[in-house]
Amino acid sequence: MQAIEQLQTIPLEVSPGREVEDWHAQRWLPQRSQSSDIELRALLERFRSETRRSPGVRARLNRPIGAPKQSTPLPPQPTGPHLDYVIALGRRTSVTRQAEAVTLADLVFAHPRRDFSRRPHQHHHPIAQYAGTVGDLVMCESRLERAFVLLADFTPTVLHIISQPLTIMFRVGSQIRWHTPDFCVLRYGAPPLVVDVKRPEQALVVRTQERHWLVAEALAAAGMHYLVWTGLAEPVVANLSLLSRAQTPISGERRNVLRDVTIQWVLDGPQTFESLATALTREHSVPDLAAKTFLRELIWQRQLRIHMHHFLLPESEVWA
């Protein structure tokens, strides 16, 4: 499988259109010492425990079209000499932190800073994408943002995805600027990675690039890395969308047996997707639709591999 973690970025440290293999291949300093993986693991377990009791609470779905927009307020101006971070604690409450005071808990439990945008004739349409990594809906304001969430959800090193986690307020000369990034992803052993999603033509605008540099410097003050993400090839997005929905009721020992025999078949050499599904149906009495879904599930979990830059078809090769 080609490395799906490769991200196309617009220049912070790379040239336009170049792909980088490492999400956090940035060098923003100064970096504060990182909280331990033990702390992050505990915070994520607490978050998921709360989510299991009340799913969907961090995707704002309930405001009807035409209702007043809900947004947590900004302070009148930065309280510190350089910048503040405004983090939403709930749907109508927020807290202001200076750069050095932002914690992992602030990020893990942050609610989206903005509500879904609903305007007549708007170009982008909001989407709530379920992410297995989070165990909850993740708020997206466009299909391009949804593609990023699919990619992050597929990437093994990503542990948590947060939509619009904070608003940065900072000074540029005598002016006060603010910016709400699209996402933040958390991983073990790495600083939080803040991501803005832009169409390539948008990200190449000089004024936009200047703003991104200011945002990157502001985030560096809190030890966070920054990336401008401009999308993936259409076949990759289509495959991720198809694979992410795959889930079968097969579980327990039967699942383990089917997984092991499937992997053994492809260890002898690549097989087509259709031939594997047919073998599962013929030799293990798995219904055709369930067999194909089971194969997609194994690919999503990286137990099987395909060429992600080619559309998944019945004749596509699958290997271990």
Instruction: Give me the pLDDT at residue 256, please.
Output: 94
pLDDT at residue 84 is higher than 60? yes
Report the pLDDT averaged over residues 27-38.
Answer: 48
Q: Which of 10-19, 70-79, 216-225, 245-254 has the highest mean pLDDT?
A: 245-254
pTM (predicted TM-score): 0.82
d(CA 159, CA 186): 6
Of 86-90, 97-101, 308-312, the poorest mean pLDDT is in 86-90
- Which residue would you say has higher pLDDT here, 207 or 7? 207
Instruction: Please give the average per-residue pLDDT across 304-315, as a whole number.
Output: 92
Provide mean pLDDT across the span 176-193.
87
Q: Summarize the confidence of residues 51-72 as an average pLDDT.
A: 54
Q: Give residue for tokens 């000074």.
A: 171
Please tell me the distance from the alpha carbon of residue 82 to that of residue 159, in angstroms, as a whole number: 30
Q: Say if residue 311 is exposed, middle or buried (CB neighbours under 10 Å; 0-12, 13-18, 19+).
A: middle
φ and ψ of 285, to 5 deg = 55, 35
The more confident residue out of 121 and 313 is 313
Q: Residue 248 has what pLDDT?
A: 85
DSSP 226-294: EEEE----HHHHHHHHHHHT---S--HHHHHHHHHHHHHHHHTS-EEHHHHHHHHHHHH---HHHHHHH
Express as a percent the part of the chain with pLDDT over 70.
74
Measured CA distances, 295 to 50, 124, 143, 278, 285 (Å): 31, 33, 26, 11, 15
Comparison of pLDDT for 283 and 213, the residue scoring more: 283
Structure tokens at 24: 């956090």
Closest CA to 184 of 121, 113, 244: 113
Among 39-53, 165-179, 246-260, the range with the most confident prediction by mean pLDDT is: 246-260
Q: What is the largest CA-CA distance in the chain?
A: 73
268-307 pLDDT per residue, tens = 899 999 999 999 999 999 999 999 999 999 999 989 999 8
Q: What is the pLDDT of residue 271?
A: 95
pLDDT score at 292: 96
Stronger pLDDT, 170 or 67, i.e. the higher one: 170
Q: Report the distance separating Cα 120 and Cα 137, nearest Å.
A: 24
Q: Which residues, in sequence order, are CB contacts of 298 under 8 Å at separation 6+? A: 259, 262, 304
Averaged confidence pLDDT in the chain: 78
End-to-end CA distance of the chain: 9
Given a contact cutoff of 8 angstroms between Cβ atoms, the answer to whether 244 and 154 are in contact is: yes
